[in-house]
């Protein structure tokens, strides 16, 4: 019985355990450099686009293992449009609205062909990847265009001042960052135990109290660790605030709303879902229209961080997003996956990226490693499903 419990625990938290092992490996390999406050900050700031895109990609994958190959090109195209209109003197807020609107329109355009005409998502988004990469070159005329609007750059996580100012004036330690970390811990603990109590009232099965306490303490310690590390550098990056907001919103949508449950239902059994009266075309449409919107947001984060727009931006972004989803536990068959799991996957990808950069591994070998990690995650999912059947 104890052996079964251990196996169940390992299977449930496989990617968390792998993340711990990978962090431990790079801590040893880099002599602890990967845990320096600046590198912890870079882990979030440089990979903000991955968290955003992976959150949207999860909804596409939930519908049946479908993916969106166009997101990298959409990121580039929307960023190019934003840089051009701001370069011409357009108001920053209006430029932001234009970028979000273009992303949503692109998502709706692709969603139309996928949901209503039933063109396979792979083909539709592959076409989008080529179209919007080409249009990015047309808009920028093959050149790099700088983003000079300092307010926009700071707001979306670029430049040297892209951190939330410490209103408490801490010396050597950002007090505001520590306070935010403490609030995050309190919110997490309250929501966890309140949710557990509510499930017990309704007669649902819940994990044992001891297991919940142990898990909660570990997560609280992880949040505290990150809060202290960020506080020792410059505090909270503005990009991290946006990422936290998006994660919170989509965690709620996927776990607490009827719409969120529809994504899982379609991925679990599309025919049965349709026969039960759920509009499956609408589910597909929402998934891909939403992906376009989040790709536009990632485009803003990208041009702000790099303070420019370039026709080559966004390359392989779709691979990072897809990889984060599958590594984080999303099923290649659809119907399985969570936003917290995706975040674990994105963190693992980020740790691998930063760790390999610190030790000076050749960029080509970095791609090899990430490819093998992705393959291993999908193999694990496929083998697990076969055993369950």
CB 57, CB 325: distance < 8 Å? yes
Share of the chain above pLDDT 90, in %: 39
Q: For residue 72, what are the CA distances in angstroms to 69, 169, 298, 321?
A: 7, 39, 9, 9
Residue listed under structure tokens 């966004």: 314
| pLDDT tens figures, 253-310 | 998 899 999 999 998 888 888 888 899 999 999 999 999 999 999 999 999 999 999 9
Q: Write phi, then psi, for 36 (nearest 5 degrees).
A: -65, 145
CB 300, CB 82: distance < 8 Å? yes
Number of CB atoms found within 10 A of residue 125's CB: 25
pLDDT at 36: 87
- Measured distance CA(48)–CA(30) in Å, rounded: 23
Instruction: Kindly list the domain boundaries of the chain, sorted by start residue.
Output: 32-157+237-381, 165-236
pLDDT at 354: 87
Whole-model pTM over 0.85 = yes
Number of CB atoms found within 10 A of residue 248's CB: 12
Predicted confidence (pLDDT) at residue 381 exceeds the cutoff of 70: no
- Measured distance CA(163)–CA(61) in Å, rounded: 33
| pLDDT tens figures, 109-143 | 999 999 999 999 999 999 999 999 999 999 999 89
CATH architecture, domain defined by 32-157+237-381 = Orthogonal Bundle (1.10)
Predicted confidence (pLDDT) at residue 1 exceeds the cutoff of 50: no
Nearest-5° angle of CA 343, CA 58, CA 134?
Answer: 105
């Amino acid at each position: 019985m104890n052996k079964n419990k251990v196996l169940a625990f390992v299977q449930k938290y496989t990617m968390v355990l792998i993340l711990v092992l990978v962090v431990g490996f790079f801590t040893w390999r880099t002599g602890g450099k990967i845990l320096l406050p600046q590198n912890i900050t870079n882990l979030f700031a440089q990979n903000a686009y991955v968290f955003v895109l992976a959150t949207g990609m999860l909804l596409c994958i939930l519908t049946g293992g479908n993916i969106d190959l166009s997101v990298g090109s959409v990121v580039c195209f929307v960023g190019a449009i934003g840089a051009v209109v701001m370069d011409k003197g357009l108001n920053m807020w209006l430029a932001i609205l234009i970028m979000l609107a273009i992303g949503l329109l692109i998502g709706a355009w692709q969603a139309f062909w996928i949901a209503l005409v039933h063109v396979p998502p792979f083909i539709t988004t592959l076409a989008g990847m080529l179209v919007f990469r080409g249009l990015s070159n047309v808009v920028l005329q093959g050149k790099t265009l700088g983003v000079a609007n300092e307010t926009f750059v700071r707001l979306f996580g670029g430049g040297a001042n892209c951190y939330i100012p410490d209103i408490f004036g801490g010396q050597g330690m950002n007090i505001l960052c520590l306070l935010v970390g403490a609030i995050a811990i309190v919110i997490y603990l309250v929501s966890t135990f309140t949710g557990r109590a509510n499930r017990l009232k309704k007669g649902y099965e819940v994990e044992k109290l001891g297991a919940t306490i142990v898990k909660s303490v570990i997560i609280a310690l992880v949040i505290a660790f990150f809060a202290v590390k960020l506080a020792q550098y410059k505090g909270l990056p503005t990009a991290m605030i946006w990422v936290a907001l998006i994660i919170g919103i989509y965690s709620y949508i996927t776990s607490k709303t009827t719409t969120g449950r529809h994504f899982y239902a379609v991925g679990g059994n599309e025919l049965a879902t349709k026969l039960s009266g759920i509009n499956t075309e609408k589910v597909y449409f929402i998934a891909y229209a939403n992906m376009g919107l989040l790709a536009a947001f990632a485009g803003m984060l990208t041009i702000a961080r790099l303070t420019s727009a370039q026709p080559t931006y966004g390359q392989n972004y779709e691979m990072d997003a897809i990889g984060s989803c599958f590594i984080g536990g999303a099923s290649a068959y659809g119907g399985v996956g969570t936003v917290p799991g995706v975040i674990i996957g994105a963190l693992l990808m980020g740790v691998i990226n930063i760790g390999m950069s610190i030790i000076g591994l050749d960029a080509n070998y970095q791609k090899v490693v990430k490819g093998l990690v992705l393959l291993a995650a999908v193999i694990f999912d496929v083998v697990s499903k076969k055993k369950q059947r």
